[in-house]
Structure 1
Amino acid sequence: MSSDSPDHASPRATASNLPPSIDAVSEMLARHDYVAGRALATVLFLSLRMGRPLFLEGEAGVGKTEIAKVLAAALDRPLIRLQCYEGLDLASAVYEWNYPAQMLEIRLAEATGEGDRSAIESNIFDTRHLIRRPVLQALEGVPGRAPVFLIDELDRADEAFEAFLLEILSDFQVTIPELGTIKAAEPPIVIITTNRTREIHDALKRRCLYHWVDYPDADTELEIVRRKVPGCNAALSQQVVAYVQRLRDMDLFKNPGVAETIDWATALTELDRLALDPQTVSDTLGTLLKYQDDIARIEGSAGRQMLEELKADLSQSGA
């Protein structure tokens, strides 16, 4: 079992440490430098109080995964993450048997003359030979400190795996043929994210509360930069956020997310820049944009014109 297993948990956190109100959720997230709007705080509060999985959808880099990380830290719960990908199967997601250890058990039984078939089967299918993957780890949490279970980028997994999750999200249990049904003593806090590269089936969505995580507005994104990159001076932070906000209106192949905004502000701070200029923008676009066609477009006259307009607008507003 991973180091995030509930077996390593301290007993001091209990179910009573769940935030008692929507405002308390907002304050809890803010203490961990996550800036959340009222709608997100509300659906997160309801998810915690109702014990329902939270389904978060949105573009890559808008902070969906970070919500689960912050929630685990704020509630002092283990974070168990299942990273989805094409071809994900039960052996990787739920459990598998330690076959080398089982074979050794059989050979030892043969060497000692143990001939009782039922005894051998009992030994080889003992839980000490069970390799627990994220789903099983999440279900085996101890009451009062059930983990935060992050099912990340579910849209990357196959539809067959998505169907398997229905039992998990409905009954918080899984069946292992050799051991029987394992049911969570206390359901984990489940956060599911998707970048919407494909549609998730309605049957799964019905088991969840839903929230679309959008790109933040300028004021919210500026607050995020201030919290995440405290070394970035105020003027540069405003220029960075204003520039990124304008980029998202340009119909690029891939708009920069909040994660890229933070990376860019961090890179400019490391370079001791105090303001944006065409050369600096050109030199550092690789931290902000990830497709060459987008970079080439911004490196041209369109990018320079946008920077001039941005500075003019900020100057007129007194920023």
Structure 2
Amino acid sequence: MQTSDITDTIFLQAVEAIDCGDIALLQKLVADNPRLITDRLQTTEEGYFKDPYLLWFVADNPIRHEKLPANIVDITNLLIAAVKAKAPDTAQYQLDYCLGLVATGRIPRDCSVQIPMMDALINAGATPGGGMGALANGNTEAASYLIERGGKLTLGVAIGLRRMDDTDRLLQTATTDEKLSSLTAAAFYGMADMVKFLLDKGVEPNGYPEPNSGFHSHATPLHQAVWSGSLETVRLLVEAGADLNAADKVYGATPLGWAEYAPSEGGDEAALLNFAQIGSYLKSAVNKDADS
């Protein structure tokens, strides 16, 4: 969603006040128009930001501006107080969902306000999640903080945060999907040592995590290893029997296809060299597989 898509004039003014850090204007708009807190913005957009509450705009997730105002924590606290006072029936849902948007967002992290914003929401009563969504979006500090504040630790998050004592314990009772999601997370971060650890524990390298796992469910561990740029991680998975011809569920591309596409996303010379080496290795593996 873009700000220009908002057709509700009063709601648009409130969102623009959030974006520019005009806390005085925002406070007046909220006081004069309680519906800004109690009602959802009606939109035609689908996906995770369909019909958002005003509070949710503090996270800039989905990204609209690539930045947050310097006083965004104060703005967040203002809106939290208004939600708790004026929308008690939906307050928990508004707070919990906003916490998820902040924890998984890139802009709060890049603006160095992710933890303070999360702190404000959790202190107000938001329920900390397990951190898998944060990990899936590259926010390891946010994932760790959610666990510190009471989020349920899962195998995938323990792997992603290298909490080995917890990993050994959780692995004993983990389901097949939890193990696969954990392997996918380790591959996503190019954590060759953790991938090897899981493979040595008998975790199968093929399959797609379930959508409710909290991690990327559209691609296999090998796809994610390719995207991480870690040739060592790719080798480990291929040698363990990862399917070279598996297609991701969004673009229908194989791991080799991901390696060939990755350079178009940019990167420095070292990253481009890594992807070239991964592509060469996978081509050789595919040809070898075809000949056998």
Same fold (TM over 0.5): no
TM-score by length of 1: 0.34
TM-score by length of 2: 0.37
Instruction: Determine which structure has greater relative contact order: mean sequence separation of CA pairs < 8 Å that are 6+ residues apart, divided by chain length.
Output: 1
- Larger relative helix fraction: 2
Greater Rg by CA = 1
